[in-house]
Amino acid sequence: MAGLMTDGAGRLLIVQPADTDDAALPGGHVSGTEAAPDALKRSLREQLGVRVTVGTLLAIDTYTPCAEQPVALVHLYAVDRIRAEDFAAITFRDQQICEAEFLRPDQALRRIPERSRRLVLGALHAQVTGGIAVLEDGIPLVHCASAGLTHAALHPAAIPPAVRHTG
């Protein structure tokens, strides 16, 4: 599962995992019997040292498991906004993450892999419309309006440039 985290300017938090060149949304995996929202809270606390409130489920993507993608289900949740002082206090506690930055949605979408891009687009659209995006192998099953990329709520002109934190 992953969290769609924004700052007060509408930028998305993107992290750089230490073990890959691909940027990602912050998140993790469920351990044992924990619920996905609880696992997300734990993962963000372990990875970034932040305590968050997990909100609405925005998107679900089911994957056909394979060697490169052993996770068969991804939940993407809205997470409360990160304040500037909390962002400045981020620490990369478990060394899984080496960088975190807030980017405008269009910049963030260019940094993450295509499969994740479609999930994020669906989640952003769901956030605006109040629905849940449902995808299978990265392909929307429920129309998620690709025109959402130009929707003013997703890309307001006033969003400032990237803010980077490297610990």
* Sign of the CA dihedral with 8 first, then 161, 107, and 45 last: negative
Q: Quick check: 111 pLDDT over 80?
A: yes
Judge contact between 160 and 11, C-beta under 8 A: yes
Q: What is the DSSP string of 78-126?
A: EEPPPPHHHHHT---TTSSEEEEEEE-HHHHHHHS-HHHHHHHHHHHHH
Q: Which pLDDT belongs to residue 55?
A: 93
Which residue, among 4, 9, 135, has the nearest Cα to 78 in the 3D structure? Answer: 4
Give the pLDDT confidence of 77-99 residue by residue, as tens digits. Answer: 999 887 777 777 788 877 888 89
Burial class (CB in 10 A: 0-12, 13-18, 19+), 60: buried
Give the pLDDT confidence of 22-58 residue by residue, as tens digits. Answer: 899 999 888 889 999 999 999 998 888 888 899 999 9
Structural domains present in the chain? 2-165 (3.90.79.10)
Amino acid at 43: S
> Is residue 145 very low, low, confident or very high in pLDDT (cuts 50, 70, 90)?
very low
Judge contact between 24 and 97, C-beta under 8 A: no
* Sign of the CA dihedral with 124 first, then 147, 151, and 117 last: positive
Which residue, among 158, 127, 150, 96, has the nearest Cα to 4 in the 3D structure? Answer: 127
